[in-house]
Structure 1
């Protein structure tokens, strides 16, 4: 047993003990952060504009600070980009996390010296919770790989700027640097496919024990290794024991990923965003991710079905209910105030508060009033895959067909299979039946002959990769939306089908 694994156990125990101090007093922890944040923001331009000096209670805060998305907060961001200090938070940000927006173009999310611990300590604590629960710290003595964006940073207004995963790379603890892969030279390669081949060159003969990344890009890494070696991943990396992932629902990828590995291994789900590290899986046996209520963020939650109404309710943590969808609103020490991150979550536990990510508030299909959300399409697909166990899915997305050449409108499911179902028609029917059970409005539209059952369109292998490459979004932290209320993604994917 190596030094790292030996030392990780007492550290893990200490972290979990400290964690329990706020896990079981969540409202107190959140009130503490509410007071700190308002106090910290009083001398900023934003705080002055919103009269923070008069804010004492959460209700007064809500009256003063409306819910905003990036586009609505952008005037303040632009002042920071112009070199102004004390705009959203004291001083200037340490970093800008650069990310792509669907309506705002490139987004620049501030990360301050005060908010860095939220990102870095939370990632560390996710691993230490695992060590504390399982006793497995041996993976820390072998090689670790984080499939991420480039750590090479640009500058905007004198502020270091890059992808969140690249920024985080600068804060990997020194004791892990010596066993972290890939090398800096490989990690800064911008072209994903070139970078992936170099990563494989550097890792294929190493004792890899932990692999981390977004599932579809990890799968691509595994596929390339299997093409080279003809072996399962367990035979290439016999020490591989922990898979860390986030960014998408793991279930559609689980079967193929574990088939590629060739054995079951432990996995740790995380919920990081450029705006803040929201939650992580703290237990291998309990459902959901532990919401981080003592990490520089004061959370609010809007019931998803009220989000687009004129005066939606903004709830604190002690007001949420189990089993309901909420849009996540954050206020944090990076200077994001009343900020809608765009995600929806559902709580599965209140003691402590654990949640699952259910989708994106603006990613839905409601071309006919059905308001089908990401959680529903993922559950419907998972149901069909369980009934057709031979099936392996690489990637999928769903779009409405409002004006077909003939017949009734429908939802089109565009799926790239690694292994297609033996009976595609029965598979499609099972998906449709489950979606009818999950969404009463979709049920009404089908039974009322407003919509016909879904159409399954099978895409050739590599279709999603070619589409993402055409959009300049291949690899890194980029994800394909599960569903959209238009056909832009669907038509882009169908174009790749025609060019094959």
Structure 2
């Protein structure tokens, strides 16, 4: 055991012990965060407009602060972007995380000096929890790669802006700098394919122990490594034993990854976003990610099936239940208030509070009232793959409302690495899983409103080519698992 790994274990134990104070007192922790947020922001433009000086509790907050998305806060954000102070949060942000919105154009998500530490602490603490539970710390002596956006930042009215992952690259601890890849120069390459080629070149002969990134883009990196070496990634990187990911569910990729690596490696799931760092996997033995209740964010939860009704109930942490699909609502020390980030979650544990991401409130299929969500299609595919020899690279689902003949159906666009021996039987397994999970879908099949799903094969690299065609290849960009229209599938 090296000195570095020895001290990593001690540090990990200290952090886990320290966090236990808020983990064991979730409701009190959230009440404290709530009061601090209201007190700190009561003299801001938003605070004055929404009577923060009169808000004493959550009931008052609900009466005065509506649920917002980016468009709902845009008039305030635009003032911040123009350089005005004390609009959403005291002073000015230190960064804007720039994202590409589908309806709002470019979004400028504020990051303040109070909120920035949680973005850094979350990823670090996830690794420390892993070390503390498993005792595995040898990887700290090897090389680590984080596939991310360019760290080159622009400036707008005195505030730096860039992609969140690029901003975070400026905060890599000094003790990791020597271990971290790719180089700064390679990280600054904007074109994703050129960047991945450069990353392969830099890492090919290194002792890689940790690899991190969105699975779909790490897959591209692995494929290029295999093409260059003609051997599994696990043979090329013999000490690679930890994969860290976020943004999408890893399970649909796991079989493909294990094939490319040549063995199973431990994984840690993160739940980061430009709006905050919300959760991380705190255990290899338990399902779900630990919801971070002490990171300057006050959480509210709205049941997904009630979200589009008038005045849906907004639940606090002490009121949530297991296995209910909730829309996640945030109020943060970056100045986002009653903010709907669009993600849906379900609690897998209430002691401690652990969550899993179930999808996006806007990414669903309900062309016939079936209310299908991302978690259901991912689970259905995973169950079909478990009893098949097929390997899937990527997929998305859309309704076919007007088929040339016969009843409408859900159309699954699937890019296979290896076709199942019986494609029809494979499709039927997926369909049966969907029916078992979703009573509305089952009713539509039984009632002859829908026929069983159809699989349409997508050529190899078809999804990558699609993402490239819309300017979203690589980085933090993700393919929607399902859509209620055929905009994506028509392009495919």
1:3 is displaced (CA, Å) by: 3.3
Distance 2:168 2:4 in 1: 21
1:354 aligns with 2:354: yes
Distance 1:109 1:392 in 2: 38
Distance 2:115 2:169 in 1: 16
Alignment-derived partner of residue 496 in structure 1: none
Alignment-derived partner of residue 487 in structure 1: 486
Deviation digits for residues 155-212 of structure 1 (CA, Å, limit 9, x no counterpart):
1222111111111110111110111000011001111000000000000000001000
Alignment-derived partner of residue 423 in structure 1: 422
Alignment-derived partner of residue 456 in structure 2: 457
- Secondary structure of the 1:301 match is strand
1:103 is displaced (CA, Å) by: 1.5
**Structure 2 unaligned runs (5+)?**
none
Kept in 2: contact 1:96–1:111 (CA 8 A): yes
1:158 aligns with 2:158: yes
Alignment-derived partner of residue 408 in structure 2: 409
Distance 1:4 1:487 in 2: 52
Alignment-derived partner of residue 371 in structure 2: 371
Distance 1:405 1:215 in 2: 36
Distance 2:373 2:102 in 1: 17
Alignment-derived partner of residue 317 in structure 2: 317
Distance 1:329 1:4 in 2: 39
1:136 is displaced (CA, Å) by: 1.2
Alignment-derived partner of residue 11 in structure 1: 11
1:7 is displaced (CA, Å) by: 1.6
Deviation digits for residues 2-42 of structure 1 (CA, Å, limit 9, x no counterpart):
33212211111110001110111100100010000001111
Kept in 2: contact 1:208–1:240 (CA 8 A): yes
TM-score (normalizing by structure 1):
0.97
Deviation digits for residues 311-358 of structure 1 (CA, Å, limit 9, x no counterpart):
111001010000111000011100000000100111011110011110
Distance 2:442 2:234 in 1: 44
**Structure 1 unaligned runs (5+)?**
494-500
1:102 is displaced (CA, Å) by: 2.0
- Secondary structure of the 1:243 match is strand
The equivalences for 1:21-170 within 5 A come to 21-170=21-170
Q: Which moved more, 1:187-196 or 1:437-446?
A: 437-446
1:237 aligns with 2:237: yes
TM-score (normalizing by structure 2):
0.99
Q: Which runs of 4+ in 1 moved over 6 A?
A: none
The equivalences for 1:439-458 within 5 A come to 439-458=438-457
Distance 2:407 2:263 in 1: 45
Distance 1:260 1:491 in 2: 30
- Secondary structure of the 1:321 match is coil
1:458 is displaced (CA, Å) by: 0.6
Deviation digits for residues 40-95 of structure 1 (CA, Å, limit 9, x no counterpart):
11111100100101111111011110001111111111001111011101111111
- Secondary structure of the 1:328 match is strand
Alignment-derived partner of residue 433 in structure 1: 432
Alignment-derived partner of residue 216 in structure 2: 216
1:292 aligns with 2:292: yes
1:254 aligns with 2:251: no
Alignment-derived partner of residue 275 in structure 1: 275
Kept in 2: contact 1:69–1:339 (CA 8 A): yes
Cα RMSD (Å) of the superposition? 0.8
Distance 1:449 1:156 in 2: 56
- Secondary structure of the 2:171 match is coil
Distance 2:181 2:75 in 1: 39
The equivalences for 1:189-204 within 5 A come to 189-204=189-204
- Secondary structure of the 1:149 match is coil
- Secondary structure of the 1:176 match is helix
1:383 is displaced (CA, Å) by: 1.2
1:472 aligns with 2:471: yes
- Secondary structure of the 1:170 match is helix
| Count of aligned pairs between the two proteins | 492
- Secondary structure of the 1:195 match is helix
1:476 is displaced (CA, Å) by: 0.9
1:291 is displaced (CA, Å) by: 0.3
1:258 is displaced (CA, Å) by: 1.1
Alignment-derived partner of residue 399 in structure 2: 400
Kept in 2: contact 1:3–1:141 (CA 8 A): no
Distance 1:36 1:278 in 2: 18
Distance 1:228 1:77 in 2: 47
Distance 2:75 2:435 in 1: 43
Q: Which moved more, 1:181-190 or 1:404-413?
A: 404-413
